[in-house]
Structure 1
Amino acid sequence: MTRQKTSHTFTKIAFKPLHTNLFNIVLISFFLTLGCGNLYSQEIKSKKNSLPAVKQATKTEKKTEKPNAVVTDTIKLDTVKPKKAFLDGKVRYVAKDYAKIDQKKKTITLFNEAELYYKDVELKAGIIVLNYDKDEVYAGRIKDSAGVLTQYPNFKQGASEVQPDSIRFNFKTKKALIFNSRTEQGEFKVKAAITKKENDSVYFLKKARFTTSKDIDNPEYYFQTSKVKFIPGKKVITGLTNMVIADVPTPLALPFAYFPMSQEKSVSGIIIPSYNDSNTRGFSLQNMGYYFALSDNYDLTVLGDYYTNGSYAMRFESAYATRYKYRGNINVRFENLINSERGYPDYSKQNIYNIQWSHSKDTKSNPNSTFSASVNMGSSKYFKQSINQANVGSNLNNTLSSSISYNKTFNTIPQARLSLTATHSQNTQTEQINMTLPTLQASVDRVYPFVGKDGVKKGFIKNINLQYNLSGKNEIVTTDSLFFKPQMFRDAKIGMQHSIPLSTNFKLFKYFSAGASTNYQETWVTKTIDKSYDTSQSKVVDKTVNGFDSFRTYNFSTNLGTTIYGTFNFGADKKIQSIRHVMRPSITYAYTPSFEKYYDSYAVDASGLITTQYSRFDNGVYGAPSKDNSNIVGFSLSNTFEAKVRDKDSTKTEAKKIMLLNNLNFSTSYNFNADGKQVLAWQPVLVSGGTQFFDNKMNVNFGATLDPYAIDNSGTKINTFNIDNGGSLFRMTSANVTMNYSFSNKGGKEENQQSERNGGRKDDLFGTNTDLNDSRNSQFANEKDDGENVITEFFKSKIPWDMTLAYSLTYTNANRENKISGNSIMISANMDITPKWKGGVSTGYDFVQKGVTFTQFRFERDLLSWRMAFNWNPLGDNANWNFFIGIKSGVLSDIKWNKRSVSTR
C-alpha cells in the first residue's frame, strides 16, 4: 500500500477473513511434506566446466571400469523461467491525491505533490508515472483549478539538480530525456529546450541558453547556442554562441566557446586584457596574463601591460596559506616607463618597482615562537608614476615602511627571549632610506636575588631585581639611487650593546610610590672616526677606522609619584550630579656622569692653535657617550576628568558616566648643569590632551609648547624669563588641534585595505585605491537578493549614508611670526542614492594655501548580473578618470569594458 497523509481521501480495499480450522490445516501440511520422497530443484549452471564426479568402486568393478568414464548426474533441470526482479533497490513514493497501481500495464501513477525516492534519485512533480517493467519513470506538471500548469518536476541525482517541464528517466541505463530543463552548475544557470542525459557525466543540450543572472527565465543577459556538450563540474563546450542582452541579440558571437566548470576553489586560466590608449605612450593592452592554481596552498598570477611606444609592466601576485600554520601573500611589480618619442625634448625612460609581502604565523603551530612580515618597499616614485593602478590614496602618502620580525621564547628559569627584526623606512619625497638588517634583541627575565623562600616581594631590599639585555644593530642609511648597491653596504654601521639594569620600588609614607634604578652599559662597534686637519684640502676631514672598539657607561635615576582623587558633588537631582578629577603627579631625577676620557682633540685650522674635542664614537650606531655631567630633574602631571549625569532613561536608577577629558598632561624639566648660554636650565612646558564626543564618534586632540624664556631681536632664546622681559609667564611657540568625526546611519564602514597596505590611510579621506579591472571588488558583489521589493522598501526607510570629517589647525610662533601655518579640512561621504546607485566624494580645502585639496568622485551602479563604476579625480597632478562595466561573476570576469585616462605626470 502507498503511504498517505491522514488528511487525504482515498479508496480503501477491505479483506474479509475466512473461517477455517487452522490447526487441522497445519497438521495435514506437515504430514504431506514428510511423505514426499523425490525432490526436484532448479539447477544453476556454472560458467566453468565442473570436474567429473568420482565414484567409489569395488575390486571387481575396477577391472571392468573404462578409463576417464564420466558419471552422469540424474537430477532433472527446472524448466520454469525466473521472474524479472522489480528494479534492484527499495522504492519509496508518496502522493497527495492518489497512488494507482496498474498490474496489466505494470505502472504506478502518483498524482498531486508526488514524490519518489530510489537510490540516489529524488523526484518531485505534479504527476509521476513509474513503469517497473521498462524501469522508467516519467514526471510532469499538472493543471490547477485555473487551468495553469503548476508543480514543475524537480529531479535530483547526487549533486545534480534539474527543474524541467517534464522528464523521462531510465533507472538501468541512467539515461534521461529532459524538456525545458533549468539547472545550476556553479555560478552558471542553464536552460535548454531539450536535454539528453547520456550518463552521470555527459549531457547534450539543444537550444540552450546559460547566464549568471538570478532569474533564469527573464535574465538581463544570456548566451544563446543551438548545441551544447555539458560535463557537470568540469566544462561546457558549445557550438555557435551569441550574446543576448535584454532579449536583443548582439553582434558579439563566437563559432565555439569553452567555459570551465570545475568544482575546485580555483582553476588555472588565461586572463583577458583590457584595451586603452594614451597620448604619451600610444595604444596598450593592460592586465593580460595567466592565473596558475598551483595547489590548494598557494597560487600565482602573472599580469603584464604593453604600450606601443615600448613601455611595459609586469606583476607577479601570489597568495599562500597552510591551515593552523601560516598565511600570507606577495606582490612584485615592475614597470619600464617611456615618455614621448626618442629625439623629442620631453623624452624620458626610467624603471620603477614595488614589492609587497604580508605574512602571519598561526600561534597554534608553536606558541613559543612567532614570525610576521609586513613589507612595502620599492621606488619612491612608484605610486606617483605607475601606469596601471589608480594609486590615489597611496600617492598622497610620503612614507613607505616595512618590518620583518622573528620572536622566540625559551622556557628556561629564568625565562629568556630572542627577537630578530629587519626594518625599512623610506621617504618618497627626499628618497632617503633607513634600514636595519637586522636588529637583535635578547633578554633574560628579572631575577630577585633577595626574595625569601616565601616568594614575597615587599620592601626596598626584596624588590631589588636585575636582568640582562643584549641589543645589536646593522644600520644602513642610503638613497634610491644606491639601494642594494655595494656602496650601501660599505656605509653600514654595525654595533652591539650590553646592559644590566638594577632596580627596585617601594612605598613611601603610605601614599607615595617610589623607585630607583641604575644601569650599566657596554657598547661595541666595528667602526670609529679620526678627525684631523688636512692642509692640502684646508679643511677638517673624517677618516673611518675599521676595527673593534668599545666604551662603557652607567647612570642612576629615581622617581616618586602618587595619585590624588577629587570629587565635586552637585546633588542627585541635578543633571550633572558630580565631576571626578584624578591627578597623577610625578617627579623624576636622573644623573649621568661625564665620560670625557672617550674624547680627543683636533685642530680646526692650519695653525693648530684652535682645537676642539670630539669622540671617536661620533656617528656610531649607538652614538657617543656624554661628555658633560647630566643632572636633570623632571616634573609631570596627568589629569583625567569624568562626570556623572542623570540618564535620559527615567527607568534607570544609576547615573551615566561620561568622560570629559581622557587626558590632560603637563611636563617639563630642569637641568642643574646648564651653563645659561648654550644650554638653558628650564625646558619648555609641553601640554597635550584629548577627549571624545558624541558617543566616541568625534576624537579631539590638542597640544602646545610653552617656553618660559624670552627671545632677542634676532629670534634667539636668551637666559631671561619672558615675564621679566615684559611678556607673559609663558610664550606659546607652537600649538595644534586635530579633530576626526565619523558618523553614519548604517553599519560599520569598510576599511580601505589596499590603500593601507600601500602605505595610505585606512579611511577614504584620500580617496580609494580601486582597480576597476577586477569586477569582484564591487560593493554589490556579495549582496544577496532577499526577493523583496527593494524599491518599495527603500522609500519606506532612511537613505543609507556615512561621512568622515577631519580638521587640522597648526599655530607657529617660534620667532614672533605669530601665524597659522596649517589650516585644512577634509571630508569623505558615501551614499546609497538609490537601491542600485552608490555615490561617494572625497575632498577638502586648505585655508592657508587657499585651494581645494585632493578631490575624488565615485559612482557605482548595480546592474544585477553586471556592475558599472566610474571614478573621477578632476584636480592636480593626479587628474584622471576610470570607467568600467563588466559581469560580476568570477567565471565571466573577463567579459568587461574598461576605459581610463592616463595621467601625463
Structure 2
Amino acid sequence: MMKGKIGHATRAGLLVVLLTAIGLYTALGQIPDSVSRSASPAADTLPAPSTREDDTPVPVTDTVIHLDESSGSSQLDAPIAATADDSIQYAISSSRIRLYGNAVVKYKNIEFQAGFIEFDMQSSVLYATGLDSAGKKVQEPIYIEGSDRYTMESMTYNFKTKQARILGVMTQVSEGYLHGEVVKKLANDEVNVANGKFTTCDLKHPHFYIALTKAKVIPHDKIVTGPAWLVIGDVPTPVFLPFGFFPNTSKRSSGILLPQYGEENERGFFLRNGGFYFGISDYVDLSIRGGYYSKGSWDVRTHLNYAWRYHFTGSLDVTYSHVKIGHEGTPSAVNSSSYIIYWNHSQDRRTMPNSTFQANVTFGSSGHNRYNSQTTQEYLNNQISSSIAFTHQFPGTPINISLSINHSQSSRDSIVNLRLPQFALAMTRIYPFKRKNGVGKQRWYEKIGLSYNTNLQNALTIKEQDLFTRKALRQMRNGIQHQASASTSFNLFTFINISPAVNYSENWYLQSYRYHWDATGGRPVRDTVLGFARAWQFNTALSASTKLYGMFTFRAKSYVKAIRHVLTPSVTISYHPDFSLPFFKMYGEVQQDPSGKMLKYSHFDGTLFGGPGTGKSGTVSLALNNNLEMKVRSKEDTATVDKKVSLLDALSLGISYNFLADSLNWSPLSINARTHLFDLFELSAQLRFNPYDCTAQGQLINQYYFQRTHRPLRFESFYFSASFSISKTLTGRGKTQAPPQPLGYLPGFLPYGQALSTDFLMIDYGDFSAPWSLSCSYSYSFSRLGERVQAVQSASLYGSLVLGENWRFGFSTGYDFNSRQFTMSSLNISRSLHCWEMSVNIVPFGTLRSYAFRIGVKAGMLQDLKYDKNRSYLDNYSY
C-alpha cells in the first residue's frame, strides 16, 4: 500500500524507502569454485527485471514514499535513498520502482549508480544496468562500498541474502585491476569470478592481462586462481600457470622474494637477489637475499628497516660476498671474500628538542666495491667514511657538547683512520663585560668577546688487516686540546674597523718523547716518557679594514642606471713567539750523526695534536677585495625596485711579509677571481706568483727572482674553471640549475631491476616539466716549479631530452685532454609504454663498458613480468 500523492513525473525525484532488515556489508569479495559460467538469469537465484505487460508504471511526484509491512520488505532495517535526473516511476501491480537517468540508490555505506535502476520492493532485489529502454548504453553501473569501487555492465543485488550477480565487472585490487565476465558475490563477502582477467593496466581494454578461468577473491587478503596464462596485446603467450596467487592486503605480511636469473661470462649462470621478507611489526621489517653463481661465487645480504614515529628512523644493511673468478692456480684468478656494512639512523628532534643523534656508517673490506658495486659512483670511489654523532645544547647557556665516532678508509692502500671516541665541548662567543641593562652608548670593553673549545680524541691509523689485533691498541694516540680566544672590534675615525684578538691553545697528553744518541747503533733512539705533558702556544693579531665605494651613473632613461665598485682593503698584523727556545721546555737537542751535528726536536712529535712549531713570526698581511655590480631597470613597467646584476663577484689579492723570519720573508702573491654571467655561466680563476727564485727541482732559495730575470714575480700556478647549465621548461622559459653529478648504475649487476630507474645517471631528464637540459664544465690548471711543468685540463658534458610524456634520453661524457681519452661515458633511453616501460642503458667504452636492456611491467606487484638482456662490467676482465 502506498501513501502519498501521485501526479505528473518529475525530472529529479527522491525516494526514501523505510525498511527493517539487515544492511549490506562489503562488496565483491571472493568466490567458490561452484560459480556458474552461464550468464542466463535462470541459472541464478536472483530474479531478472520484470517484463509483465500489465505492469503499468505510475509517475511519482511525492518526494517521500513509505512501504507498510504488507509489502514484504519488513526485513530491511535502514532507509534507502534514491535520486534520478530523468524520472522515477512506480509499477503498482509488481511493486517495482524504476529510476531513469543518472540514478543513485544509497543504503547504509553502499551506493549504486547507473543509467537505469529497478528495485523490487517485495523481493528486495535491485537491478542496475547502463542501457536505456532503447538498449543504448548511457551510463555504466557503479557499485561503491566504503573505499571499494566497481564498474560493470549490469548487476542484480539481493538486499536480504546479501548476494549479487554481476556481468562485466572491473575493479581495482591493490596495484592491479580485476575483470570478470560473470561474477557472483556471496553473503560472506567473498567473490567468485568466471572468465576473468588480472592486470595492472588501468584501461578497460588492457594492453596485457593474465587470463583466469576462475578465481576466488577474499577481500583485503588474497586472490587465488585456477589455470591462467599471459595475454599480451590480445595474443595468448606460452606462459602458463596451473594456478595463481595475488596478495590483496594493505597490511604488512611476510613472503618469498623471487630471484633474478641470468648469465655472466666470468661468474657463470646465476640466481640472485632472491630470498625472504619478514614483516616483523609496524616498527621493524627485515629482508634476507642471496645469490649463487654456477662458477662458485655467492653473496648474502640482510636489510633491516626500523622506525618509531616522532622518535627515530633508520636502516641497517649487511652484505657478505665471496667472489671466485678465473682458473684456480693462475696468477689472475680471484678467490676472495669481502663484506660491507651500511647503517643510517636519524633522531626526530621532537623527541629531544635540544639533542640530536645521527649515524651514517659505511664500513667494510677495501676491495668489496671492485666486484660488488651497484653504481659507478661506488666503483670509482676509493674512499669510504662513517660518522656517528650525538650533540646536546644546554638550554639557557652558551655551552654545547658532542660525542662522535668517525672513520675513513682508503681502498688504494687499505689504510683505516679511526676517531673513537671524539668528545667536544664548545662555548659560543660571550660578552662577560656587557651590562645587563645598558644605558647610553656602548662602552668599548663591552664589545670584548670570549670563546672556548675543547676536543678530546682517541685516534688510530692502521692497515685494514691489523685493525682487530693487539697492534691496534699499541698504535692508538690520544690527547685533549683546549682553545680559547678573546677579541673585540671598534670603529676608528668612523669608517675604519679595528679588530684585535688573542688566541691561546694547549694540548694535554699522557706521554711525550725524548731522544738519545745510541753510540753502538750510530743513530738517535726515541724514548717514550709516560706521564702528563702539556704543549701550549699563543698568538696575537690586529686587523684593520674599510670599504671604499665608487659609483658611475648613466642618463635617466638609460637601461643601465649605475655601476658600483666596492673596494675592501684590509691589513692584519700578527705575532707568534718562538716556542722552541729552552725557556719554554718543549724542545730538545740530540746528536744527529757521528760527526756530532745536533738536531732540534719537539717533545711532542708523533702525538695526536703535536706541539708548537719552531721559529717566531711577525707577519703583516695585506688583502684587497673588489666587487662590481650594475643596477638596471626592471623589464616590468609596474616594478618599483631596480634589478642588481653582478659583474664581478670577487677579485681578491693577498700577500704577507714576515719581518721576524731570517729568510724568505715574503709569501706568494695570490689572485682569485669569481663571477657568473646571465645566470648561465660560472667562471673562476686563480693565479699564484712568488717573489723568490727556485732551483731546477722547484726548491725555493733566498734570492729574489728579480735579481736573475729583472722581473718582479715568478709565475707558479694558474687554475681556471668554467661551467654552463641550462634547462628549458615546457613554456620555453630558461631556468638554471647546478651541474648534476653522474651517479651511474652498472648494467648487468645486482640489483639492476630497481637501479635502472633510480641510480643510473641521476640527471635531470626525469623531470617532465623540463623537456631538455644541458650542463657542461671545463677546467684547466698549469703549474711551473723550476724545470717541472705540469698542465691538466678536462671537460665534461651532461644532457637530457624529453619528447612528449613517454620518451626520455640522457647522456654523460667527459674528455681528458692529457690522456686524449674520453672519461666514463653513458647513454640511457627510457620509453613509457603506459603500463609497461622500456629502458636501454649503455656504457660504450672504458673499464665499466656494459649495457642493459629491460622491458617490463611498471607495477611492483608484477615486477618479475619482464625481459632483461645485459652485459656486466665484470665481463671486461680476463682472468
Contact preservation (8 Å) 1:459, 1:507 = no
Of the three residues 548, 551, 561, the one matched with 1:567 is 551
In structure 2, distance between residues paired with 1:701 and 1:432: 34
Map of 1:201 onto structure 2: 189
Cα distance in 2 for partners of 1:437, 1:323 equals: 30
- 2:555 equivalent to 1:591: no
- Checking the alignment, whether the CA contact within 8 Å between 1:396 and 1:766 is kept in structure 2 is no
- 2:84 is the counterpart of 1:95: yes
What residue number does 2:482 align with?
Answer: 498
The CA distance in 1 between the partners of 2:71 and 2:235, in whole Å, is 61
For 2:377, what is the secondary structure of its paired residue? Answer: helix
Matches of 2:464 and 2:237, distance apart in 1: 52
Is the alpha carbon distance of 1:93 and 1:621 closer, same or farther for their aligned partners in structure 2, counting shifts above 3 Å? same
1: distance between equivalents of 2:121 and 2:866? 52
Give per-residue Cα distances to partners, 1:828-880, cap 9 Å, x unaligned: 11112454332221111111211111111112221221222221112121112
- Quick one: distance in 2 between partners of 1:670 and 1:651? 54
C-alpha distance in structure 2 between counterparts of 1:280 and 1:4, whole Å: 85
Any idea what the Cα deviations from partners look like across 1:447-502, whole Å, max 9, x if unmatched?
43433342478343222233432211112222333344443343121000223322
Larger Rg: 1
Task: For residue 211 of structure 1, report the CA deviation from its aligned partner.
Answer: 0.2
Rounded Cα–Cα distance in structure 2 between residues aligned with 1:237 and 1:587: 82
Query: How does the TM-score come out when normalised to structure 2?
Result: 0.85
Q: Which moved more, 1:575-584 or 1:868-877?
A: 575-584
Report deviation, 1:614.
Answer: 0.9
Letter of the 1:118 counterpart: Y
- In structure 2, do the counterparts of structure 1 residues 443 and 744 end up closer, same or farther at CA, with 3 Å as the change threshold? closer
Deviation at 1:374, TM superposition (A): 2.5
1:116-157: CA deviations, max 9, x gaps? 111122011122121122121111122487x53231111112
Once residues 755 and 210 of structure 2 are traced to their aligned partners in structure 1, the CA distance between those partners, rounded to angstroms, is: 21
Q: Residues 295 and 549 of structure 1: is their aligned pair in 2 closer, same or farther, counting only changes over 3 Å?
A: same
- Partner AA of 1:668 in structure 2: I
Residue 208 of structure 2 corresponds to residue 238 of structure 1: no
Give the distance between the partners of 1:736 and 1:691, measured in 2 at CA.
Answer: 15
Tell me how far 1:177 sits from its aligned partner: 0.9
Alpha carbons of structure 1 residues 528 and 144: separation in structure 2 relative to 1, 3 Å: farther
Pairing 1:472-551 to 2, within 5 Å after superposition: 472-535=456-519, 537-551=521-535
Residue correspondence of structure 1 range 40-55 to structure 2 within 5 A: none
Alignment-derived partner of residue 395 in structure 1: 379
Are 1:664 and 2:651 counterparts?
A: yes
- How big is each residue's C-alpha offset from its partner over 1:290-344, in whole Å with a ceiling of 9 and x where there is no partner? 2222233332222222112221122222333333333233322222111113233
Equivalent residue number for residue 212 of structure 2: 225
Which of residues 176, 185, 189 is equivalent to 2:173?
A: 185
Distance 2:329 2:61 in 1: 106
Q: Which residue of 2 aligns with 1:878?
A: 848
Return 397-406 or 480-489, whichever deviates more: 480-489
1:580 Cα deviation from its structure 2 partner: 1.1
The 2-side partners of 1:704 and 1:377 are apart by 40
Q: In the alignment, what sits opposite 1:39? A: none
> Quick check: 1:778 aligned with 2:766?
no
Displacement of 1:348 after TM fit? Answer: 2.1
Distance in 1 (alpha carbons) for counterparts of 2:492 and 2:8:
89
The answer to whether the 8 Å contact 2:628/2:649 transfers is: yes
Amino acid at match of 1:473: Q
Deviations 1:190-226 (A, max 9, x none): 111111111353111111111000213x211100111
Question: Which residue of 2 is the match for residue 811 of structure 1?
Answer: 782
Shift of 1:3: 12
Where do 1:496-895 residues align within 5 Å? 496-535=480-519, 537-596=521-580, 597-606=585-594, 609-649=596-636, 652=639, 655-676=642-663, 680-695=664-679, 697-746=680-729, 763-765=740-742, 767-768=744-745, 773-775=752-754, 778=757, 800-819=771-790, 821-833=791-803, 835-895=805-865
Question: Which residue of the other structure, out of 251, 256, 259, is the alignment partner of 2:238?
Answer: 251
Corresponding pairs, count: 802
Cα separation, 2, equivalents of 1:94 and 1:713? 99
Residue aligned with 2:369, SS:
helix
CA contact (8 A) 1:772 1:869 kept: no
Q: Deviations over 1:362-413 (max 9, x none)?
A: 3222221112222333333333321xx542133233432332221101124x
- How far, CA to CA, are the matches of 1:780 and 1:246 in structure 2? 31
How is 1:130-141 mapped onto 2 (pairs within 5 angstroms)? 130-141=119-130
- Determine the C-alpha separation between the residues in 1 that align with 2:552 and 2:854: 62
The structure-2 alpha-carbon separation of the partners of 1:149 and 1:83, relative to structure 1 and needing over 3 Å to count, comes to closer
Cα shift at 1:764: 4.0
Counting only pairs closer than 5 Å after superposition, residues 212-611 of structure 1 correspond to structure 2 as 212-216=200-204, 218-264=205-251, 266-386=252-372, 389-412=373-396, 414-455=397-438, 458-535=442-519, 537-596=521-580, 597-606=585-594, 609-611=596-598
Is contact 1:433-1:477 (8 Å) kept?
A: yes
What's the CA shift for 1:631? 1.8
Deviation at 1:660, TM superposition (A): 1.2
Closer, same or farther: CA 891–530 of 1 in aligned 2, 3 Å: same
Instruction: After TM superposition, list the pairs within 5 Å mapping 1:132-171 onto structure 2.
Output: 132-143=121-132, 148-171=136-159
Does the 8 Å contact 1:775/1:893 carry over to 2? no
Instruction: State the one-letter code of the partner of 2:330.
Output: Y
What letter is aligned with 1:684?
P
Structure 2, unaligned runs of 5 or more: 14-56, 63-68, 732-737, 761-767
Change (3 A) 1:469 1:772: closer
State how far apart, in whole Å, the 1-side matches of 2:605 and 2:633 are. Answer: 62
Conserved in 2, the CA contact under 8 Å of 1:140 and 1:166?
yes
Report the equivalent of 2:37. none
SS in 1 for 2:445: coil
Partner SS, residue 112 of structure 1: strand
Q: Which moved more, 1:590-599 or 1:189-198?
A: 590-599
Summarize deviations over 1:510-539 as a string: whole Å, max 9, x none.
211112222333321133333334455544
Q: Per the alignment, do residues 448 and 133 of structure 1 end up closer, same or farther by CA in structure 2, a change over 3 Å counting?
A: same
Between 319-328 and 586-595, the greater mean CA deviation after superposition: 319-328
Amino acid at match of 1:778: S
Question: In the superposition, relative to structure 1, how do residues 358 and 552 fare at CA in structure 2: closer, same or farther (>3 Å)?
Answer: same
Give 1:360 shift: 2.5
Alignment RMSD (CA, Å): 3.1
CA contact 2:746–2:848 (8 Å) conserved in 1: no
For structure 1, the residue ranges without an aligned partner over 5 or more in a row are 16-79, 749-760, 782-796
Return closer, same or farther for 1:496/1:100 CA change in 2, 3 Å cut-off.
same
Deviation of 1:92 after TM superposition, in Å, equals 1.0
Q: Percent identity?
A: 31
Whole-Å separation in 1 of the counterparts to 2:166 and 2:102: 20
Distance 1:654 1:118, change over 3 A: closer
Residues 661-710 of structure 1 deviation map (CA, whole Å, 9 limit, x = unaligned): 2222222221122111xxx1011122222211222x32222212121212
TM-score in terms of structure 1 length: 0.83
Structure 1 range deviating more: 449-458 or 485-494: 449-458
State how far apart, in whole Å, the 2-side matches of 1:844 and 1:81 are.
Answer: 87
Cα distance in 1 for residues equivalent to 2:459 and 2:758: 44
- Whether the aligned pair in 2 keeps the contact of 1:86 and 1:132 (CA below 8 Å) is no
User: Any conservation in 2 of the 1:374–1:404 contact (CA below 8 Å)?
Assistant: yes
- Given that 1:776 and 1:890 are in contact with CA atoms closer than 8 Å, whether structure 2 keeps it comes out as no
- Aligned-partner Cα distance in 2 for 1:799–1:500: 52
Contact 1:138 1:169 in 2 (8 A): yes
Amino acid at match of 1:740: S
Q: Render the CA deviation track for 1:795-842: whole Å, top value 9, x for unaligned.
A: xx99921122111111111224455x2111111111124543322211
Counterpart CA distance in 1 for 2:446 and 2:148 is 75
In structure 1, how many angstroms separate the alpha carbons of the residues matched to 2:165 and 2:436?
88
**Are the counterparts in 1 of residues 102 and 113 from structure 2 also a CA contact under 8 Å?**
yes
Tell me how far apart the structure 1 counterparts of residues 477 and 267 of structure 2 sit (CA, whole Å). Answer: 44
Q: Distance in 1 between matches of 2:805 and 2:436?
A: 72
